Amino acid sequence: MKRKTFLERAAAVPHIVWMILFIVAPLLFVIYFAFTDASGKFSFSNIVNLSNYGNIFLMSVLFAFLATVICLLLGYPLAFFMSRLKPSTQRAVVLLLMLPMWISLLIRTYSLLALLDNGGLLNSLLQALNLPTVKIVGTPGAVILGMVYDFLPYMVLPIYTTLSKLDIRLFEAAEDLGCNGVKTLFKVALPLSKSGIISGITMVFVPSISTFYISQKLGGGRFDLIGDTIERQFLMNNNKNVGAAISLVMMILILISVAVMNKFGDDDGGELIV
Amino acid sequence: MEQTKIIDLKNISKSYNGETVLNDINLYIRDKEFVTLLGPSGCGKTTTLRIIGGFETPDTGDIYFDGVKINDVPPYKRNVNTVFQRYALFPHLNVFENVAFGLRVAKVKEKEIVKRVKETLELVNLKGFERRSVATLSGGQQQRVAIARALVNNPKVLLLDEPLAALDLKLRKDMQNELKALHERTGITFIYVTHDQEEALSMSDTIVVMANGKIQQIGTPTDIYNEPKNAFVADFIGESNILDGVMTEDFLAKFAGHEFKCLDKGFEKNEPVDIVVRPEDIDIVKAEEGMLKGTVTSVTFKGVHWEIIVDIQNFKWMIQTTDYCALGSVIGLSIDPDAIHVMKKSEYSDMFGAYSSYSDEFDELSVADSQPAEEVKEE
């Protein structure tokens, strides 16, 4: 193997410093706090007491799971449809899909709140039409809607990328061998875009399970998800030890789920974002 | 022998973005026939095949399968199967599952699937490859899987789109023989697309020569070789010397400054024609005994024969002979009446000059094909 020149080594230094300061060090802090009590003594009590938060973990997983399933059901057909368009149209649709991603997630969530709030645009419109208003914000549906709205592009794009790289002749071959459109989708498109699906699921599930502002804003503060709990421990209860313990467990959960996903994707060596 | 028409194309035309790809194609294919669509790239042969497969719809014209119009029948309902260029095997399935694909879609019983896949893999010499991943196979093996995947469904017609183009020469020859044997054994109609004239000559019952979206000639390999209809066919199939000539009267053709006896008749008096003389049909004699006389300007050893270029009045004749002639020597040429083939003038008349070698002009023609609309309209 070619030896790296001094310049090549030097070029990596800023990044390595950055990683140590903002990724490795905070991780070590999290581990340190998770295994100490308020006075700084080593203790397992934080971890042991996590059982109190079991319901929160369960609800977070459930919400993230539902959001991921809905994203997949909405996103896959969209990605499939996009991959079959003319190249010029494809570029336009991809741009449309990416546009919202250039806006901060926080702002997008606030906009959604402005639309759906009790005094928001939707309800004002309904009132103006003399129709009964609907209460959306503060329901579980609103939280999941927020997750789907915020993270849908992360599902569509990897699937679309995988599908658009597939040889069109594979679809023709399936048709030639007796598949109609639906059978072609299930027998050829789905198995061959598995790596894209797994990337998409990972990229939607992970941010969904750790979000806090979506549940705070759209859930009207009624749903405590893991993210909210961690935030509260650090910022309000000033109990960084419990917060760190929850963070640590969540991180491990995410790592396990990503590892499981990778296992599925391994067969065809698909491109995975971890 | 009257065989039923399995496929009948009537007045098929097709254009993409205003560019004519197929111009009024009329062609029928008999049951159990091995038909080859032959022509340079861009001549419309693949489009014709895709229309039969159902992947393209003609702009005008009708297509009949066993007497039934199938213009609007989608590919999955047609009783034809395709062996695709570059195979298009399913990368997520192993060899067995690739071959079984069509049977599974048709919900054939598992027991029968196993039996038929096994038989078909044996037929294409891939016994024991069932569990292999298609990615680990060589080009020739992938080719066989693609053929098995199509054949296992017992189609009435098998469409083959340049199936051997990606293989090396030796393998290609072997596969040609195997395909021909498969055709005989299965009794399925084969429609084969290629730009390789030798492949077409050695495998087909019938060859359809195409150029610029039109059929130039339909015939048996010997017909196409010995009696080409125009300069394009003469040049594309085999090697030929194509000369300007005049039919002075029946059985008398004048070219290269000499009057030759020939076997052709039915032309008008003094009608300008194209003359084809195949390089292997020319006899070399002593200079003073020849009908024509010229200087040898090039001698190339080709293994089976010598390829000699003789300059006669600035026309370079190509001669294939087993007799060695020295470079620069003056020799005489003798041409028998049955070696001369007379063709009517066509739009291709002036495109092929002296000792047109297949490969050189094939390239030029492909380039010319990128703007074929003009020529097509002229007719």
How far apart, in whole angstroms, are the C-alpha atoms of residue B186 and residue B256? 50
Q: Is residue B229 part of a domain?
A: no
* Contact (Cβ atoms closer than 8 angstroms) between residue A147 and residue A67: yes
Q: What percent of chain B lies above the pLDDT cut of 70? A: 92
The alpha carbon of residue A83 is apart from the nearest alpha carbon of chain B, in Å, by 18
How far apart, in whole angstroms, are the C-alpha atoms of residue B130 and residue B302? 43
Same domain, B265 and B324: yes
Q: Is residue B313 part of a domain?
A: yes
Q: Is residue B34 part of a domain?
A: yes
* Contact (Cβ atoms closer than 8 angstroms) between residue B94 and residue B131: yes
B interface test, pick of A88, A163, A176 with most B CB neighbours within 10 Å: A176
Domains of chain A: 29-264 (1.10.3720.10)
Buried b (16+ CB within 10 A) or exposed e, A83-112: beeeeeeeeeebeebeeeeeeebeebbeeb
**What is the pLDDT averaged over residues B59-78?**
93
> What H or E segment, with its residue span, contains residue B19?
strand B19-30
Q: Is residue B26 part of a domain?
A: yes
Task: Tell me the sheet residues that pair with B259.
Answer: B254
Q: Which residue of B has its CA nearest to A269?
A: B92
pLDDT for B4-34, tens place per residue?
899 999 999 999 988 899 999 999 999 999 9
Contacts of A192 in chain B (CB under 8 A): 90-92
* Encoded tokens for A94: 């991809």
How far apart, in whole angstroms, are the C-alpha atoms of residue A15 and residue B30? 71
State the DSSP string of A3-47.
PPPHHHHHHHHHHHHHHIIIIIHHHHHHHHHHTB-TTS-B-SHHH
Structurally, how many domains does chain B consist of? 2
Q: How far is CA A88 from CA A91, A93, A164, A189, in A?
A: 5, 9, 13, 22
Same domain, B70 and B165: yes
* Cβ contact, residue pair A177, B102, below 8 Å: yes
pLDDT for A198-208, tens place per residue?
999 999 999 99
pLDDT for B93-120, tens place per residue?
999 999 999 999 999 999 999 999 999 9
pLDDT for A39-78, tens place per residue?
878 888 888 888 888 888 899 999 999 999 999 999 999 9
Q: Which residue of B has its CA nearest to A173?
A: B88
Nearest in space to B281 (alpha carbons), one of B334, B349, B245? B334
Q: Is residue B364 part of a domain?
A: no
pLDDT for A145-184, tens place per residue?
999 999 999 999 999 999 999 998 999 999 999 999 889 9
pLDDT for A104-122, tens place per residue?
888 999 888 888 888 888 8
Nearest in space to B58 (alpha carbons), one of B82, B26, B34, B85? B26
Can you give the residue range of the structural domain that contains B77? 5-223
* Cβ contact, residue pair A180, B75, below 8 Å: no
Same domain, B183 and B283: no
- Split at pLDDT 50, 70, 90, the class of A269 is very low
The alpha carbon of residue B182 is apart from the nearest alpha carbon of chain A, in Å, by 20
Residues 6+ apart with CB under 8 A from B96: B117, B121, B130, B131
ipTM over the 0.85 cut-off: no
Give the residue carrying structure tokens 């183009």. Answer: B165
Q: Is residue B98 part of a domain?
A: yes
The alpha carbon of residue A67 is apart from the nearest alpha carbon of chain B, in Å, by 29
Residues 6+ apart with CB under 8 A from A17: none
The CATH number for B320's domain is: 2.40.50.140
**What is the pLDDT averaged over residues B321-331?**
89
Position A28 scores a pLDDT of 93
Position B350 scores a pLDDT of 72
Position A54 scores a pLDDT of 87
Q: Is residue B295 part of a domain?
A: yes
* Cβ contact, residue pair B82, A192, below 8 Å: no
Same domain, B214 and B248: no
Neighbours of B36 (CB within 10 A): 27
Same domain, B150 and B18: yes
Position B361 scores a pLDDT of 40
Q: How far is CA B85 from CA A159, A262, B143, B166, B309, in A?
A: 26, 33, 9, 8, 38
Q: Answer whether residue A271 shows pLDDT above 50.
A: no
Position A265 scores a pLDDT of 64
Angle at B318 between CA B285 and CA B267, to 5 degrees: 90
Contacts of A188 in chain B (CB under 8 A): 90
Boundary-marking domain end, from B223, B251, B285: B223
* Cβ contact, residue pair B92, A268, below 8 Å: yes
Contacts of A269 in chain B (CB under 8 A): none
Residues 6+ apart with CB under 8 A from A11: none
- Average pLDDT for chain A: 87
Position B374 scores a pLDDT of 36
Q: Answer whether residue B315 shows pLDDT above 60.
A: yes
* Contact (Cβ atoms closer than 8 angstroms) between residue A201 and residue B129: no
Contacts of A176 in chain B (CB under 8 A): 53, 75-76, 80-82, 84, 150
* Contact (Cβ atoms closer than 8 angstroms) between residue B270 and residue B244: no
* Cβ contact, residue pair B86, A176, below 8 Å: no
Position B369 scores a pLDDT of 40
Same domain, B210 and B287: no
Q: Which residue of B has its CA nearest to A186?
A: B105
> For the whole model, what pTM was predicted?
0.79
Position A41 scores a pLDDT of 83
**What is the pLDDT averaged over residues A20-43?**
89
Q: What percent of chain A lies above the pLDDT cut of 70? A: 96
**What is the pLDDT averaged over residues B351-365?**
47
The alpha carbon of residue A247 is apart from the nearest alpha carbon of chain B, in Å, by 39
